[in-house]
């Protein structure tokens, strides 16, 4: 067989493999979001993907490996979302608009990736994965702090850093309930969440 023919066959096999991995991860996202990490099974994931369990095990050793791969994918997407945020423009906004500009994309991310939170809370993720997610959060807090100081250059760096950390703590405290709620309750929770952040930032900038 010619080298070019062999190369083309390998590429086709690799492409089919990548497509199958994508299919399995999309199915896992559905199952984890619906059943939670502990309720999910590889049999259910393979059934949702429309493949046999044997096919799943060609690509993933077990449920933990699927959860870790999916979490790393979410983390990469979240980092890209943070990079796309125009913090310099946000710094010129009034506080209500600033809070919405920052939080709406984050809320939408969790809405469109509902399995992310359950994996962070319940899956036995490797330390490397949790460290990678923590590094993304730390970097985001740094950007928030810089934005606060750009909004008001008279603010002390330590105060801006602390305010950024508090904002993230408030977000983490609300996001689980927001994701699990619907309708008017969800809208009220989001409104309360934003009001808390506006109030906290108002104290920061008035200090």
Can you tell me the distance from the alpha carbon of 100 to that of 97, in angstroms, rounded to the nearest whole number? Answer: 5
Separation between Cα atoms, residue 50 and residue 196, nearest integer Å: 45
Instruction: Quote the pLDDT of residue 141.
Output: 97
pLDDT for res 13: 52
Taking 50 as the pLDDT cut, the residues of the chain under it are: 1-2, 5-12
Question: How is the chain split into domains, by residue range?
Answer: 1-60, 63-206
CATH architecture, domain defined by 63-206 = Orthogonal Bundle (1.10)
* Same fold for the pair 1-60 and 63-206: no
- Which pLDDT value is given to residue 15? 62
Helices 95-112/157-180 angle, 10° precision: 40
Look at residue 16 in the predicted model and tell me its pLDDT: 75
25 Cβ neighbours under 8 A, 6+ residues apart: 66, 69, 70, 73
Distances, alpha carbon 74 to alpha carbons 114, 117, 180, 202, in Å: 10, 10, 19, 32
The reported pLDDT for the residue numbered 17 is: 78
* pLDDT for 78: 96
Kindly indicate whether the domain formed by 1-60 is annotated with CATH number 1.10.10.60. yes
User: Residues 6 or more apart from 60 whose CB is under 8 A from it?
Assistant: 24, 42, 66, 69
Query: The tokens of 105 are what?
Result: 């994309």
Instruction: Select from 122, 137, 127, 14 the least CA-distant residue to 67.
Output: 122
């Amino acid at each position: 067989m010619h080298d070019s023919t062999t190369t083309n066959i390998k590429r086709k096999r690799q492409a089919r493999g990548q497509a199958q991995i994508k299919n399995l991860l999309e199915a896992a996202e559905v199952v984890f979001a619906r059943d939670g990490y502990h309720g999910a099974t590889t049999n259910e994931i393979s059934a949702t993907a429309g493949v046999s369990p044997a096919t799943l095990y060609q690509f993933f050793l077990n449920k933990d490996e699927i959860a870790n791969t999916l979490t790393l994918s979410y983390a990469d997407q979240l980092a890209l979302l943070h990079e796309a945020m125009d913090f310099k423009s946000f710094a010129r906004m009034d506080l209500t608009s600033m809070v919405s500009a920052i939080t709406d994309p984050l809320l939408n991310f969790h809405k469109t990736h509902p399995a992310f939170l359950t994996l962070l809370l319940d899956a036995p993720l490797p330390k490397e994965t949790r460290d990678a997610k923590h590094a993304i959060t730390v970097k985001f807090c740094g950007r928030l702090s810089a934005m606060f100081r750009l909004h008001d250059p008279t603010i002390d760096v330590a105060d801006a850093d602390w305010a950024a950390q508090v904002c993230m703590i408030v977000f983490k405290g609300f996001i689980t309930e927001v994701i699990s709620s619907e309708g008017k309750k969800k809208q009220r929770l989001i409104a309360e969440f934003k009001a808390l952040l506006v109030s906290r930032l108002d104290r920061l900038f008035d200090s």
